[in-house]
Structure 1
Amino acid sequence: MAVPEWIANAPEVRHVHHRPARLGLTAEVPAWVSPGARAALAEQGITALWQHQRVAASAAFEGRHVAISTSTASGKSLAYLLPIYAATAEGTIGHDVAVHRWAPATRAHTALYLAPTKALAHDQARRAREFGGQSWRLTTLDGDSEAEERRFARDFATFVLTNPDMLHRSVLPGHDRWQGFLRSLRYVVIDEAHRYRGVFGAHVASVLRRLRRLCRHYGADPVFISASGTIAEPARHLERLAGVYDALAVDRDSCTRPALDFVVWQAAADPHREAAAMLTRLVDNGYQALAFTTSRIQAELVADQARRHCIDPDGIASYRAGYLANDRRELEAALSTGRLRGVACTNALELGVDITGMDAVLSIGFPGSLAALWQQAGRAGRDGRDAFAMLIARPDPLDTWLCDHPEALFESPIEATVLHPQQPAVLSAHLAAAAQELALTSGDEQFFGPTMLPILERLADRGVLRRRGDAWYWTSQQRAVDSIDLRSIAGTGVEIVQSATGRVIGQVDATAADRTVHEGAVYLHQGEQWLVEQYDLAAGVALCRQQRAEWFTQAQGTTDVRIIGTDRQRTLGDATLFAGTIELTSQITGYLRRDSVTGAVWDSTPLDLPRRTFRTRALWWTLPSPDSKHAHGLDERDLAGGLHAAEHAAIGLLPGFAPCDRGDIGGLSTVHHTDTGAPTVFVHDGLPGGSGFADEGYRVAERWLAATLQLLEACGCDKGCPRCVVSPACGSGNHPLDRVAAIAVLRPMVAGSTEAPHGTPVTLPA
């Protein structure tokens, strides 16, 4: 299906890339697959496998860790279901694995499936039942499971589908009741593995190490299988995530693929309004389309705007996190039958509903990584019918740069996932949990790594653990896991509570609470506006009332950086680049009220909140002193604006080179820093202990900063605009900013760089 003329001929189109169709490569079903399993495949019309499915399934069957990284709808599920079915439903395993003599005769082998969401686990359970039938003793396990369902999972099921939170909070702390399942554990599947990065990834890495340790205690050594969208170095990611070695990467996609035209569209106005109008017109012209947004609110708004102008408003719906299972199934059925023609959604759709074969996919804003972008685009295309996808760029530095450099989308290698499994704050909390599960000894370094012993000593000094000989024990009557939120680094966070009823409407990470739920803040939740009336961080509560506001709030504050230690440095043009540990002290000092339509400032209100101090990882660069002959021809005032603008632009582009969310990182710039004695720009991880993003930025600095310079040079604004350097998160109100001075700052730094900003051209993701 070609791109519609009204899109192809529009002035907003910056680039169209054509990916040709591809014929698939098949392979015979392996000999170890039983006649019963072959019959089940035949009932679904499957008489042969794709080559990558056979390679992955056979390697797992023989006992090797496997990292599957192929495109959407390439059959990853079948690749791990075949060996799991053989082991857990039929008792068949590869030749190199012996059956544990102490395993119960009724449950010789078990398997565990982990997904980031409950919805995906339930969806995969449905697929597994379709393949293995009702005789396969499989079940889901999550916070909604009844007592009888939990008992069945623990005592009788051979295949349990759950999520990392349930494994962390229920299975591992209660391992003595789960020992029959754990001592028989043959396979662990980590689905959507590319989602485990940053702090969430560090938490899950520790949970998986706790799991492996307890399995070893009971005599098991499970095979790990990860499944993900197309990412770089999938085997390395699995090894870092689970702490295993010698994983096999299966990343050559061999399935049939339709042709795809990919359009890069630079919105003239509001990208969400343009996407809504486009979704309406596509649906009215007989297309079936998805529009991916970056927030729940925007998903609702895009769907609402599209419905208002659509010929058949009932043919358009929204999808976001929080939908019930029945709603998801109805949505999937409506899309399959064609009754539903358009859906505005968040990436929750990627993790909860099995939808492929769309005519068109719209991505409103770059989703943070090429892997995520191609995951979304992979929903387009059905057998015998081509499709198109579109990136609708937002007015921010990264999307603007991608419009000017589409080769970064279509000729660049897919990124590796950034993961820091030794994150000290995260690892400390999980070592305490591991000690409560089973006393830790020095031999547990094989699971938790070389930083384990120093962390245990610190925990013992603080009284969290007690050392007796070569073992460390948990000392409290409380459950260690209750203080760990897998999606946070600061405990369980702050609850947002409706003051009139006491109903909890949401939760925010404690590290972000000062900025987002301070008194007077407008908090957005599922399309509704809530005004925070009282904020008590000590109690972990923000009281609020629902209110329709014509303004939004923007926190303001101060940040100070002290360099604790430098572990790497190199010359970068006329600058020096460093990486190391810093102490970050920040304070929210007030907030602005801004008009929700124009963004104009209404007023400013001071706040009396405490200073927050923690250590984290950072990169920074220093320039020649302003009074030297290498001062870039700038006076101190212009230099301050140039450093600040360069900081904003660089931070805006970093997610394109070290995949992360914009909120995962922060920065500071100053004409004279006390510790360096020179003009300095810092880019730091936003959470205690670091998340790995700053260190990745140091590694790719030449490409990243060259791209930042290109962005600044291409923008036609005066001092700065949202497309290049203006940031809505700036604590100093985007003052001072000077785009032209930023060019003068960066140009001598990257003048000698010979590496293309977009990296080495390679083939597109299969």
Structure 2
Amino acid sequence: MPVHDSLLPLLGRGDAPEEVRHVRELPASDAVTAPWPSNVHPDVVAAYAGLGIHEPYRHQAQAMGAAAEGHVVIATGTASGKSMAYQAPLLSAIHSGRLKAQAAPGVLQHAEEATALYLAPTKALAADQLASVRALSSGLMVRADSYDGDTPQEQRRWIRDHADLVLCNPDMLHAGVLPNHPQWSRFLRRLRYVVVDESHVYRGVFGSHVANVLRRLRRVAALYGANPVFIGASATSSGPRQSFARLIGVDAGAVEEVTRDDSPHGPVTVVLWEPEQSGAEGEHGAPTRRSAMSEAADMLTDLVLKQVRTLAFVGSRRGAETVAQMAHRQLDEVEPGLSHRVAAYRAGYLPEERRELEAQLGDGRLLGLASTSALELGIDVAGLDAVLVAGWPGTRASFFQQIGRAGRAGQQALAAFIAREDPLDTYLVNHHEAIFDIDVEATVFDPSNPYVLSPHLCAAAAEQPLSPEDMKVFGPTAADIVESLVRAGQLRRRPAGVFWTRAEDPASMISIRAEGGGPLQIIETDTGQVLGSIGTGQAHQQTHPGAVYVHQGRSYVVDELDLEHHVVEVTRAHPDYYTTARDVTSVKVLEERRREVWGPVTVHTGSTQVTSQVVSYQRKAVPGNEIIGEEPLDLPPTDLFTTSVWFTAPAPVLAAAGIEEPDLPGALHAAEHAMIGLLPLLATCDRWDVGGLSTALHADTELPTIFVHDGHPGGAGFAERGYELARTWLSATKDAIESCECESGCPSCVQSPKCGNRNDPLDKAGAIALLKAFLDHAPA
């Protein structure tokens, strides 16, 4: 019997479940080791030996050696030992520098000493790394500490004055370190290494912000005479050398990449699972499938009953809590003594709570954990028997990171991907080659986005006046943007350079994770407590009056959205529904930058103005998604200046494909929805990162047109990625619609959960005919 056949019954549906679309066996691999490189100090080698590590894996040794020569990115799988690959060079440089400085004390002592900066996208990951470093460096001359928003003020001065290794996040580097660089002069003068951990997560607008923060860091370090080596640690991705070079702002030739994985792995059986139809009807009478969360909860229950240690990844905080609660309920019915061995894990928990959950999962006290992507990153959780992925996590890189949590101790393991009602999920479970047999995605971000670059140039000018040489650091568009900022009076040109003119700190006015403006403070009306913040771009959709807002597992209902005073007032509540906003949208073409002609069909990309107005919201039942009611809203329109890709074709060409004029709006609309759903197949984005519009006659193009636009000011690179891979994108979209078993369209193919027109009109057959007509004219 094939090995995977023996594992399928663990999922609770027998030996041959109808829901299984594909089973793939990822083979085991043996370890390949290599000698320690010469740049790793003997004391560091001895420290690792004390932990039972006597030789590095070959790819670790390669990365360590490359770090002695220049920038390097190591892009290998989960549990491949990336941490050791960058920790060893850092600790060696710091330890040996301190030894040399002690042997020859004097005013030039700093020339021998070294410091290093470690950057993680989350505070939890930085805390995990700090614990690892302290355990390793107890016998070394290394002073390591974390520096983030939670660091007490009295500790911050000690870190600035004495720490050799600072563990930080991009937010704190941007707002706390760089604007105050004179206070960090000791540290910056000695800066030898900068580690950018989990560098693949820096994509879209967030990635664009971080790329400019790292350019500012390089510039400030140069001010103190330092030229640090950057080490990137990434999940497997397409073109890691190019992506990391673009992130740190250097030529690709200056970066060495390490992609071969020589660590040992046990065999993993991966199951692609498409839930069966539930029997209920959704919007417009379309049949619905069982939700991925319900399937995940059932599987988690069955696996825990069989004593299989399992981690279930769920896409949202609320989803993780819901899956854990459902599993608790089901276990109480079958074997009550087991329910306490299942828990939820997500951002928002206190650090000590997260550490305890990680420890309990690691030592077997917990058998099941429902988690958001918070456990996807480098936090060390070993010994898992099974991983469930409820809904596509957005990228192949994330998917393989998540299923890589199974079999980390070398044992045989099981992983299951459970498809949601979503065009991309449906496509992937029915086209397994798109997961396993093609390269993972490139990381998409655009550091030259003027909406991102402009405020960072202001921040850089406040840190040190800008010189003509600095324009090379920030890219070819920087000089023109500086000129526009000078004309606007935000910067002032003087013989010594270009200066920031205002009293405010420009860095404090940039939120590198916020999108679309803001922020607005979310305040609980009964207590006056500030719960969090939200960008202006999301406020209309997510915090309109009557919206259900969830924070750290607690539900609130929005009482008032005060845009003038940047406040959202909410009240604690326990609704049995969730809310979705409805909007109307128009798109205006501002500038066409590129076009590709496919006979009568044309593909365009350029700048557009997207005007949206939220006009109502629906309340939908939990679970079931039934519409309970709809309420009108009176909110002002918002404008988004962004990048789009759009497709045009004359109506006679579409009529020749069998799409009559009355059916054209529905065909265009259905194709637009499915295209938005499938774009994440090619770009590292979520369908919520992009939007779209389709019309049978657009005012600017004067033709039937489909627009897909980035949902971020200036664009995030997603629409341009769609333009560059247009034929592949349309082909995958057509395949996804055709492979869906519904008759006239459903959430798995052409219906959209965020449609402003209530998914009306939609023509599934017309969308297939339209996409086929486009592809018939596309170049091979």
Bin of the TM-score, shorter chain as denominator length: over 0.9
Whether contact under 8 Å (1:67, 1:249) holds in the other structure is yes
Cα separation, 1, equivalents of 2:349 and 2:77: 25
Secondary structure at the counterpart of residue 415 of structure 1: coil
Cα offsets for 1:494-520 (capped at 9, x unmatched)? 222111111122322211111111112
- Count matched residues: 749
Q: Give the alignment partner of residue 79 of structure 1, picking from 75, 85, 92.
A: 85
Secondary structure at the counterpart of residue 209 of structure 1: helix
Deviation at 1:525, TM superposition (A): 2.4
Q: Closer, same or farther in 2 for the Cα pair 1:352/1:502, shift >3 Å? A: farther
Q: Give the alignment partner of residue 9 of structure 2, picking from 5, 24, 49.
A: 5
Secondary structure at the counterpart of residue 593 of structure 2: strand
Secondary structure at the counterpart of residue 544 of structure 2: coil
Deviation at 1:597, TM superposition (A): 4.1
Partner residue, 1:108? 113
Cα separation, 1, equivalents of 2:615 and 2:92: 61
Partner residue, 2:476? 450
Cα separation, 2, equivalents of 1:589 and 1:609: 7
Q: State the Cα RMSD in Å.
A: 2.1
Q: Closer, same or farther in 2 for the Cα pair 1:142/1:638, shift >3 Å? A: same
Note if 1:169 corresponds to 2:175. yes
Secondary structure at the counterpart of residue 311 of structure 2: strand
Partner residue, 1:681? 706
Cα separation, 2, equivalents of 1:78 and 1:606: 56
Deviation at 1:574, TM superposition (A): 4.7
Cα separation, 2, equivalents of 1:283 and 1:673: 55
Q: Identity over aligned residues, as a percent?
A: 46
Instruction: Report 1:244-255 matches (<5 A).
Output: 244-245=250-251, 246-255=254-263
Whether contact under 8 Å (1:25, 1:255) holds in the other structure is yes
Cα separation, 1, equivalents of 2:108 and 2:244: 28
Instruction: Report 1:529-568 matches (<5 A).
Output: 529-568=555-594
Q: Give the alignment partner of residue 65 of structure 1, picking from 51, 62, 71.
A: 71
Cα separation, 2, equivalents of 1:70 and 1:85: 22
Deviation at 1:210, TM superposition (A): 0.6
Partner residue, 1:758? none
Cα separation, 2, equivalents of 1:105 and 1:601: 67
Deviation at 1:583, TM superposition (A): 1.5
Deviation at 1:104, TM superposition (A): 4.5
Partner residue, 1:507? 533
Deviation at 1:674, TM superposition (A): 1.0
Which residue identity is paired with 1:31?
S
Which residue identity is paired with 2:9?
E
Secondary structure at the counterpart of residue 26 of structure 1: coil
Partner residue, 1:132? 137
Cα separation, 2, equivalents of 1:25 and 1:13: 35
Note if 1:267 corresponds to 2:272. no
Deviation at 1:721, TM superposition (A): 0.6
Note if 1:703 corresponds to 2:710. no
Cα separation, 1, equivalents of 2:676 and 2:105: 53
Cα separation, 2, equivalents of 1:503 and 1:629: 56
Q: Give the alignment partner of residue 340 of structure 2, picking from 311, 314, 325.
A: 314
Whether contact under 8 Å (1:584, 1:614) holds in the other structure is yes
Which residue identity is paired with 2:735?
Q
Q: Give the alignment partner of residue 587 of structure 1, picking from 597, 613, 616.
A: 613
Deviation at 1:584, TM superposition (A): 1.4
Whether contact under 8 Å (1:361, 1:389) holds in the other structure is yes
Whether contact under 8 Å (2:98, 2:113) holds in the other structure is no
Cα separation, 2, equivalents of 1:215 and 1:744: 57
Whether contact under 8 Å (1:303, 1:343) holds in the other structure is yes
User: Which structure: greater helix fraction?
Assistant: 2
Cα separation, 2, equivalents of 1:208 and 1:31: 29
Secondary structure at the counterpart of residue 523 of structure 1: strand
Whether contact under 8 Å (1:89, 1:158) holds in the other structure is no
Q: Closer, same or farther in 2 for the Cα pair 1:379/1:482, shift >3 Å? A: same
Partner residue, 1:117? 122
Note if 1:723 corresponds to 2:748. yes
Q: Give the alignment partner of residue 258 of structure 1, picking from 266, 274, 282.
A: 266
Secondary structure at the counterpart of residue 614 of structure 2: strand
Cα offsets for 1:632-688 (capped at 9, x unmatched)? 332333110000000000100111111202211000000001111100000000111
Q: Give the alignment partner of residue 658 of structure 1, picking from 677, 683, 689.
A: 683
Cα separation, 2, equivalents of 1:100 and 1:371: 48
Which residue identity is paired with 1:143?
G
Partner residue, 1:735? 760
Report the TM-score, using the length of structure 2 for normalisation: 0.93
Cα separation, 2, equivalents of 1:239 and 1:106: 27
Note if 1:495 corresponds to 2:502. no
Note if 1:611 corresponds to 2:618. no
Cα offsets for 1:730-760 (capped at 9, x unmatched)? 11111111101111111111236687xxxxx
Which segment is superposed worse, 64-73 or 310-319?
310-319
Partner residue, 1:227? 233
Deviation at 1:719, TM superposition (A): 2.7
Which segment is superposed worse, 547-556 or 392-401?
547-556
Secondary structure at the counterpart of residue 97 of structure 2: coil
Which residue identity is paired with 2:119?
L
Report the TM-score, using the length of structure 1 for normalisation: 0.95
Q: Closer, same or farther in 2 for the Cα pair 1:414/1:718, shift >3 Å? A: same
Deviation at 1:189, TM superposition (A): 0.2
Partner residue, 1:298? 319
Secondary structure at the counterpart of residue 594 of structure 1: strand
Cα separation, 1, equivalents of 2:371 and 2:628: 33
Secondary structure at the counterpart of residue 696 of structure 1: helix
Deviation at 1:143, TM superposition (A): 1.0
Cα offsets for 1:210-235 (capped at 9, x unmatched)? 11000111111100000011111111
Cα separation, 2, equivalents of 1:754 and 1:5: 46
Q: Give the alignment partner of residue 49 of structure 1, picking from 56, 59, 62.
A: 56
Partner residue, 1:205? 211
Partner residue, 1:694? 719
Whether contact under 8 Å (2:362, 2:382) holds in the other structure is no
Partner residue, 1:762? none
Deviation at 1:606, TM superposition (A): 2.5
Secondary structure at the counterpart of residue 428 of structure 1: helix
Deviation at 1:602, TM superposition (A): 3.8
Q: Closer, same or farther in 2 for the Cα pair 1:211/1:382, shift >3 Å? A: closer
Q: Closer, same or farther in 2 for the Cα pair 1:89/1:492, shift >3 Å? A: farther
Deviation at 1:93, TM superposition (A): 12
Note if 1:24 corresponds to 2:31. yes
Whether contact under 8 Å (2:297, 2:327) holds in the other structure is yes
Deviation at 1:491, TM superposition (A): 4.1
Partner residue, 2:280? none
Note if 1:148 corresponds to 2:154. yes
Cα offsets for 1:352-410 (capped at 9, x unmatched)? 73112310000001100000000001101044421111101111100001111111111
Which residue identity is paired with 1:265?
W
Whether contact under 8 Å (2:79, 2:408) holds in the other structure is no
Instruction: Report 1:255-654 matches (<5 A).
Output: 255-268=263-276, 269-310=290-331, 311=335, 312-351=338-377, 353-469=379-495, 471-572=497-598, 574-626=600-652, 630-654=655-679
Cα offsets for 1:251-301 (capped at 9, x unmatched)? 111111111110001112121111111111111112101000000011011
Secondary structure at the counterpart of residue 506 of structure 1: strand
Whether contact under 8 Å (1:483, 1:492) holds in the other structure is no
Deviation at 1:573, TM superposition (A): 6.3
Which residue identity is paired with 1:542?
V
Whether contact under 8 Å (2:376, 2:398) holds in the other structure is no
Secondary structure at the counterpart of residue 209 of structure 2: helix
Secondary structure at the counterpart of residue 442 of structure 1: coil
Secondary structure at the counterpart of residue 715 of structure 2: coil
Whether contact under 8 Å (2:555, 2:572) holds in the other structure is yes
Instruction: Name structure 1 gaps, 5 residues minimum.
Output: 756-766
Cα separation, 2, equivalents of 1:487 and 1:563: 28
Cα separation, 1, equivalents of 2:389 and 2:74: 25
Deviation at 1:339, TM superposition (A): 1.1
Q: Closer, same or farther in 2 for the Cα pair 1:715/1:131, shift >3 Å? A: same
Which residue identity is paired with 1:54?
A
Deviation at 1:576, TM superposition (A): 1.1
Deviation at 1:336, TM superposition (A): 2.2
